[in-house]
C-alpha cells in the first residue's frame, strides 16, 4: 500500500460516515493551537484533488472549529467503503478512541455485506473473535436505551447485560434508567447480574424484586457476601429454604455478637441515659416477644377451652356472691 504526505484543503475532504460524533473537543483544539497537528489525517484519494477521510475525525472537527483551511494528510490508495470501515475498526480497537456505540455501528454495517463475518472482521483487524462478538451480541438491545446511553456517556456493554437480565421487562427498564442516568456504575450492573442468577433470587416475589435490587444498589458494596445476605433475606420472605434460613441465622448471630461486644464497652454502658436504657430494654423485650410469643386462646385445645370457660364462669359467680 503506497502512502504519501500532502497538505490538503479541508474543503476537499469528504466525510462518508456518521460513525464519529461532531462534537467540540476543547483539549484537542488547545493542543493543536499550541503544537500544531502532530498526527496527520488519513485519507484516500478518490479522484484528482478529491479525498475521503479514513481516520482522524476528531482532529478534522477540531481543525474546522479552529477555522483552519488545510491539514497535513497521509494519502492512501482508494479502496471500497467496507475496506475503509475495516481500517477504522482496526485502528480504533487498538487505540480505543471511539465509543463502543460507534464501533458497534461500523461492525454491523460490515455484517450487512455477506463478504464479512465476525471471524473475517477479527482476522482483518488482528483481534480475537470474542472482541468483535461482544459488539454483535447486543444487536437486539432497546434502541432508545442506546440513544440515551450514548448521549449521557453511559458505557455500551452494560446495556447488553441489563437487556439479558433474568427479570421482568419493567425491572430491566428500571435498572437501565438508573444506569443511563449515571446513578449506578457498570460494576453495580455486574453485581446485579450475578445476583439475579442466584437460585435464591429466583424465588423472590415479583413485586419484591425491585426492593431487593434497590437494597443491593443502596449498599454499593463490592463485598458479595453482603449482597447474598440481601438476597437470602428477601428469599426467606417468600418461602422457607434451608440455605436462606441458615444464612439469616448466621447473620443474626454475627449481629448479636457485635451488639454484645458494644455492650461490654464500659464507656458506652456507663454513659447511657435513663431514656436510652429504656429504649434498649424495649427493643430487647420486642425481640423476646418475637422469639417467645404469648399463647393465644386459639392455641388451646377445645377441651382446655371448655374447662377454662367453666372455671371463668365459676369465678365470676363467686365474685358476684361476694358482692
- The model's pLDDT over 118-129, given as tens digits with 9 standing for 90+, comes to 999 999 999 999
Q: CB-based contacts of 316: which residues, under 8 Å, 6+ apart? A: none
Place of cell 467540540: 24
State the pLDDT confidence band at 323, using cuts at 50, 70 and 90: very low
DSSP letters along 205-245, please? -HHHHHHHHHHHHHHT---HHHHHHHHHHHHHHH---HHHH
C-alpha dihedral (118, 123, 128, 129), degrees to nearest 10: 10
Angle between helices 129-136 and 118-125 (to 10 degrees): 130
In the prediction, which pLDDT does 282 show?
Answer: 94
Average confidence (pLDDT) over 226-240: 92
CATH fold, domain 1-78, is 3.90.1530
Q: Is 56 exposed, middle or buried (0-12, 13-18, 19+ CB in 10 A)?
A: buried
Average confidence (pLDDT) over 17-35: 76
Q: How far, CA to CA in Å, does 132 sit from each of 114, 119, 157, 245? A: 16, 8, 12, 44
Domain spans, the chain: 1-78, 81-136, 143-239, 295-323
In the prediction, which pLDDT does 315 show?
Answer: 59
Residue 205 confidence (pLDDT) above 50: yes
Query: Could you give the percent of the chain with pLDDT greater than 90?
Result: 63
What is the number of residues in the chain? 323
Q: Who has greater pLDDT, 141 or 49?
A: 141
Residue 257 confidence (pLDDT) above 50: yes
Cα 53 off chain centre by: 36
**pTM across the whole model:** 0.72
Amino acid at each position: 500500500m503506497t502512502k504519501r504526505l500532502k497538505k490538503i484543503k479541508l474543503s476537499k475532504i469528504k466525510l462518508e460516515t456518521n460513525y464519529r460524533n461532531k462534537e467540540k473537543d476543547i483539549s484537542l483544539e488547545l493542543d493543536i493551537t499550541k503544537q500544531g497537528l502532530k498526527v496527520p489525517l488519513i485519507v484516500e484519494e478518490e479522484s484528482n484533488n478529491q479525498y475521503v477521510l479514513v481516520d482522524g475525525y476528531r482532529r478534522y472537527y477540531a481543525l474546522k472549529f479552529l477555522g483552519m483551511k488545510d491539514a497535513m494528510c497521509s494519502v492512501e490508495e482508494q479502496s471500497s467503503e467496507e475496506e475503509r470501515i475495516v481500517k477504522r475498526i482496526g485502528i480504533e480497537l487498538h487505540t480505543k478512541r471511539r465509543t463502543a456505540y460507534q464501533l458497534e455501528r461500523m461492525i454491523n454495517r460490515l455484517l450487512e455485506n455477506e463478504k464479512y463475518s465476525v471471524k473475517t472482521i477479527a482476522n482483518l483487524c488482528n483481534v480475537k473473535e470474542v472482541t468483535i462478538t461482544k459488539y454483535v451480541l447486543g444487536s437486539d438491545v432497546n434502541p432508545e436505551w442506546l440513544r440515551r446511553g450514548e448521549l449521557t456517556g453511559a458505557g455500551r456493554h452494560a446495556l447488553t447485560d441489563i437487556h439479558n437480565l433474568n427479570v421482568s421487562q419493567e425491572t430491566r427498564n428500571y435498572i437501565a434508567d438508573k444506569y443511563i442516568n449515571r446513578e449506578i456504575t457498570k460494576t453495580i450492573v455486574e453485581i446485579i447480574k450475578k445476583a439475579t442468577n442466584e437460585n435464591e433470587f429466583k424465588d423472590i416475589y415479583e413485586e419484591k424484586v425491585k426492593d431487593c435490587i434497590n437494597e443491593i444498589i443502596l449498599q454499593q458494596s463490592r463485598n458479595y457476601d453482603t449482597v447474598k445476605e440481601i438476597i437470602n433475606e428477601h428469599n426467606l420472605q417468600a418461602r422457607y429454604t434451608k440455605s436462606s434460613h441458615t444464612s439469616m441465622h448466621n447473620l443474626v448471630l454475627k449481629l448479636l455478637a457485635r451488639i454484645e461486644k458494644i455492650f461490654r464497652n464500659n464507656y458506652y454502658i456507663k454513659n447511657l441515659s435513663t431514656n436510652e436504657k429504656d429504649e434498649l430494654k424495649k427493643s430487647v423485650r420486642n425481640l423476646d416477644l418475637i422469639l417467645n410469643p404469648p399463647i393465644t386462646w386459639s392455641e388451646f385445645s377445645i377441651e382446655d377451652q371448655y374447662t377454662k370457660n367453666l372455671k371463668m364462669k365459676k369465678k365470676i359467680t363467686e365474685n358476684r356472691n361476694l358482692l
